[in-house]
Chain A
Amino acid sequence: MSSRVDLPIGMNRRHFMSHVAGAAAMAAPAMAFTNSLRANATDLKKRHKSAILLWMGGGPSTMDIWDLKPGAPTGGPFKQMATSADGIAICEHMPLMSKQMHHMSIVRSMSTREADHMRGRYSMHTGYVPNPNVDHPGYGSVVAHELADQVADLEIPPFVSIGSGSVGPGFLGMTWAPFQVDSNGNVRNLDMGIDPARLEQRLKMLSTIEDRFIGEKRGGSAEDHRKVLDKTVKLMTSKQMEAFKVTQEPKEAQEKYGTTGFGRGCLLARRLVEAGVPFVEVDLGGWDMHADIFSALADRKLPELDKAMSALVSDLADRGLLDDTAIIWMGEFSRTPTINGGAGRDHWARSWSVVVGGAGFNRGVVVGETSSDGKEVVTEPYASQDVMASVLKSLGISLETTFTAKNGRPMKIANSGKVIKELFT
């Protein structure tokens, strides 16, 4: 074997071997790594900001959760409940969250234009309406791109999406794509089952083929493949993968978040944030309630949401992580104030709510107001790019940041959205 080995992954050999050795040692007492994480938590939290997006796929009816209109013909059957935040009332089926609202703020004056699932998902994730000529990056890719450097030794992907595909990296490139795992934190196909020296040999051979093909200038996807390859090798050999082992959490913690997919997802999100991941998206789908919405909300959806979300907020606060972690709760749109013939609500983007908290946000406030039937925003309306600009500000990311799209066109971060001023002092 030649003594000089060019590793395909931009590491020197000793570094690489130590990684692999580290991975092999993962079989050691499982709690060891978690404990050291805890010990370092104080250190880490000083060093990095993160965001957790709770994505409500399908379009949740926000006037049944955060902006109730009891008594109005459009109001539905739910009652309001006072919360730990002065003057803020939310749905009676969110009793646990009602005790955490002093950490969160509600924007009740969202007014957006896209009431189609795919378009709405794209627009709420990117701050842009879909455009056939430009692929815009979503929240996770933008935040990861801006914050990945703050944790220099981060070896796991900076954007993890739990239970859903989120929206891709657009013109930022596949390096910033969401790393998708299920809510148990399972990462498939992580182990090659061969010894490190042999893995190294294989990668060297692979590198020879990759380089030749890239050298032929056939287009960007050849290089992208190489970059993702490098990231994968890093990840396969990283001790930080321990962060995904959500089932190693104490039983009480697991029960506090709820033994649902979303509950485990939120718990996993906390672990990843502790490990230094800048952006985590947790998916809770199934809000597309065109029929029988009220029983579905009261019996199924809201209890699951309430338990997991309240556990996440209080846990982050207890650990001193909330001041550096933004939480965003939203879906692609909301649902019609008018209740349809099947006791459901249909798609509606004109007047609705999102919820934010943590990081640099003002907490325990309500921004904006809707009319008494919920059909209009009566204060200054806000759009997806405004929420995005505010989230970025809460994380200390400059809104002057400009990306260059693949066509060379400059793209202002968050589509030049305006900061929602009431969310900041």
Chain B
Amino acid sequence: MVWATVISPLDPGFRRPSFGFVRLAILLGVFAAMVARPASPAEDDHFGIPQVKFINEQISSHWADSGLKPSEAAADGEWCRRVYLDVIGRIPSIDELREYVADSSPAKRPDLVNRLLGDEFIDDYARNWTDVWSTVLIGRDVGNAMVSRPGMRQYLRRSFSKNIPYDRLMEELVTATGVNANRKDVDGFNGAANFLSGKLEENGVQATAKTAQIFLGLQVQCTQCHNHPFNKGKQNQFWELNAFFRQSRSLRRFGGTRDLQWIELVDEDFPGEGGNAEEAELYYEIRNGLMKVAYPVFVDGTEISRIGYLPRALPDGNAIGVNRRRELAALIKASPLMPKAIVNRMWGHFLGYAFTRPIDDLGEHNPPSHPELLDGLAERFQQQSFDLKELIRWIVLSRPYALSSKATKGNHRDDPALGEKPKFTHFYLRQMRAEELYESLLTATEADQSRGGEEAAKKKDQWLSQFITTFGTDEGDDATVFNGSIPQVLMMFNGDLIRQATNTGKGGFLDRVASGNAKNSGKITTLYQAALARNPTAKEVAAANEMLVARKGDAIGALQDIWWAVLNSNEFIINH
């Protein structure tokens, strides 16, 4: 057996494999668009959405200012793959890809975004943003007994399924009290408590630093010990912010065993370090060894009551007391920094680079690349009641998001990897996150799709743990070697997940492709579409044919080799 002699990407003999594929009528001509033709909408189309128009205008005025020309629009298949990856954390299945490419409506892009943000994909959507936010809020280290990852995930899944507004999400995380793990033997579960449950040691230094970093885009951790030499941060500001966390404690619960079982995050009266709860102060040491006093003051200078008591009614009917974390959440909510920080984070998620580097440093010493756009988007996001799905819609329907990743003569010098500020003249390559790779492999091999739940999440955790490195500090810093290094390539070459994805067992993905009715060229096309969202080139089909010869007609063996190569390619693992 030898595969078809001449096979072009438009091979008229191409037929859908017979198993499980959509029953859509597929216009073969439309498929050509996946390879070359730009997506159908006009390049500056904003689909009637004023916020998209605003983005497009701001971005293109920067192009003009810097004398850069944008790349052409990405091919249909590329855009489709991109938006699936970034919105729901996995590549499109073959059916999903074909359906999108075959759609000839001018509204196909907003339509797809609507679907991805709607009920149909709610499990995928919630899973993806749960992954993203778990990493932001509690890192990737699975070894911290003060944190329940399942508890955190349960809270986040519910929040993203319901699309709760961002200000409420922040408020629930910052003010959470309760039991951090969902257990049969104890009441009062609140998964949101996991954001702070592991950060209240050492007088809540970590809680202070992370809250400022994540929700305000302020790097205050360096000012814990001294005034910062580079930014305007002063040591008193750190401790004044820290004072908001002094009523809060993580109580270790053992549930009758000898091991830590769960954490109960509580608010208690703070008597103050001087013992006067009416003026509950704390002390910190400045560099010359002297001690200074601090009361709760927000980063913009707003003071709240110094009283350390929680709110309560007095016998005379008057009420006293204050819940410091609730006050803090209200101040964050009213701060212009909150919408800026989240807009910057989301922009970075979708475009590969945020307006600032690092993404969570909006301090005055670190001016953003597009200040008016950042401010304007933040304002519009606030006006839209902090609706995250709306923000996503604006960004993914914008022109910069739809550009090809191929650089041109007119814009190749726009390369933020060189340390320049991003101009977004072409789509910046980035490697999939480990979580995205995992989910994409499941999609590409049409593996068991029931994976929104906690069991699936735990399995994924276990797989992810091989990439996690911790740094031996009290702050639980971690990093991942899933960064394009040799261990990652070894995993893609030989790891269990790849063995599974390339197995030739009965009823598996490769078996189904191999035993379908399609011609061999069609089978190769299926593999390419499943992983790369495009058709193979003539050269690639020729190379594939050579594989079959080498395998002496063992078709499924050859498909296995091709599939292995496709999954190991830069094109697969890079979001482009």
Interface residues of A (CB under 8 A from B): 1-2, 57-59, 113-119, 121, 132-134, 157, 164-165, 168, 174, 177-180, 187-193, 197-198, 201-206, 208-210, 212-214, 216-222, 224-226, 228-229, 231-232, 235-236, 283-288, 290, 338, 346-347, 350, 375, 405-409
Contact = CB atoms under 8 A, between A and B. Distances in A.
B489 A192 contact: no
Interface in B547-576: 547, 549-551, 561-562, 564-566, 568-571, 573-574, 576
Contacts of B539: 208, 212
B289 interface: yes
Nearest 10 pairs between A and B by C-beta? Answer: A285-B472, A57-B472, A165-B469, A205-B565, A225-B570, A407-B419, A206-B565, A133-B419, A209-B569, A288-B474
Interface in B452-503: 466, 469-475, 477, 479, 481, 483-491, 493-495
A157 B486 contact: yes
B428 A219 contact: yes
B489 A229 contact: yes
Contact of A225 (B202, B226, B366, B484): B484
A219 B429 contact: yes
Interface residues on B, range: 35 or more
Chain A CB count within 10 A is highest, among B407, B486, B561, for B486
A225 B574 contact: yes
A221 B431 contact: yes
B494 A1 contact: no
Contacts of A203: 565
Given A236-B490, A407-B420, A58 B222 contact: no
A236 B483 CA distance: 19
Given A206-B564, A208-B543, 18 more contacts: A57-B471, A57-B473, A165-B471, A177-B486, A188-B490, A189-B494, A189-B495, A191-B494, A204-B546, A205-B544, A205-B562, A210-B571, A214-B570, A218-B576, A228-B489, A232-B493, A287-B472, A375-B289
B547 A205 contact: yes
A204 B417 CA distance: 30
Interface of B: 202, 221-222, 224-226, 229, 285, 287, 289, 356-358, 361, 366, 405-407, 412, 415, 417-420, 428-431, 466, 469-475, 477, 479, 481, 483-491, 493-495, 537, 539-540, 543-544, 546-547, 549-551, 561-562, 564-566, 568-571, 573-574, 576
Contacts of B407: 217-219
B431 A285 contact: no
B418 A232 contact: no
A287 B474 CA distance: 9
Contacts of A165: 469, 471, 479, 481
Contacts of A209: 540, 565-566, 569-571
Contacts of B564: 202, 206
A57 B476 CA distance: 12
A219 B550 contact: no
B490 A212 contact: no
Nearest to A226: B570
A407 B418 contact: yes
22 contacts: A114-B222, A117-B475, A119-B222, A187-B490, A188-B491, A205-B562, A205-B565, A206-B564, A209-B566, A212-B571, A213-B570, A216-B406, A218-B407, A220-B415, A228-B488, A285-B473, A286-B472, A288-B473, A347-B225, A406-B418, A408-B418, A409-B419
Contacts of A187: 487, 490
B417 A225 contact: no
B226 to A, nearest CB: 7
A164 B471 CA distance: 7
Contacts of A290: 202, 474
A189 B540 contact: no
B490 A206 contact: no
B406 A217 contact: yes
B419 A212 contact: no
A301 B418 CA distance: 42
A220 B417 contact: yes
Contacts of B473: 57-59, 117, 285, 288
Nearest to A55: B472
A121 B471 contact: yes
A164 B565 CA distance: 30
Contact of B477 (A59, A117, A236): A117
A165 B477 CA distance: 11
Contacts of B479: 165
A201 B418 contact: no
A225 B573 contact: yes
A257 B38 CA distance: 62
A209 B564 CA distance: 12
A139 to B, nearest CB: 16
A38 to B, nearest CB: 27
A257 to B, nearest CB: 19
Contact of A180 (B487, B561, B566): B487
Contacts of B491: 188-189
B77 to A, nearest CB: 14
A40 B285 CA distance: 57
Contact of A338 (B289, B537, B540): B289
B419 A232 contact: no
Given A206-B568, A217-B407, A228 B471 contact: no
Contacts of A405: 419
A410 B470 CA distance: 32
A205 B429 contact: no
A164 B469 CA distance: 6
Which of B431, B495, B550, B576 gathers most chain A CB within 10 Å?
B550
Nearest to B416: A133
B487 A188 contact: yes
Nearest to A283: B472
Contacts of B547: 201, 205
B543 A204 contact: yes
A228 B418 CA distance: 20
Contact of A235 (B356, B420, B486): B486
A189 B474 contact: no
A220 B431 CA distance: 12
Given A216-B406, A232-B489, A407-B418, A58 B356 contact: no
Nearest to A180: B481
A114 B486 CA distance: 31
Contacts of B565: 202-203, 205-206, 208-209
B226 A115 contact: yes
A113 B287 CA distance: 12
A212 B406 contact: no
A221 B419 contact: no
Given A2-B546, A165-B471, A221-B429, A132 B571 contact: no
A29 to B, nearest CB: 25
A214 B495 CA distance: 25
A228 B486 contact: yes
Nearest to A287: B472
Given A213-B569, A226-B570, A192 B484 contact: no
A132 B484 contact: no
Contacts of A58: 471-474
A232 B490 contact: yes
B431 A219 contact: no
Contacts of A134: 419
B484 A174 contact: yes
Contacts of A113: 229
Contacts of A225: 484, 570, 573-574
Nearest to A217: B407
Nearest to B466: A188
B286 to A, nearest CB: 12
A317 to B, nearest CB: 28
Nearest to A187: B490
Contacts of B483: 168, 174, 177
A237 to B, nearest CB: 12
A134 B224 CA distance: 25
A108 to B, nearest CB: 20
Contacts of A204: 543, 546
B490 A190 contact: yes
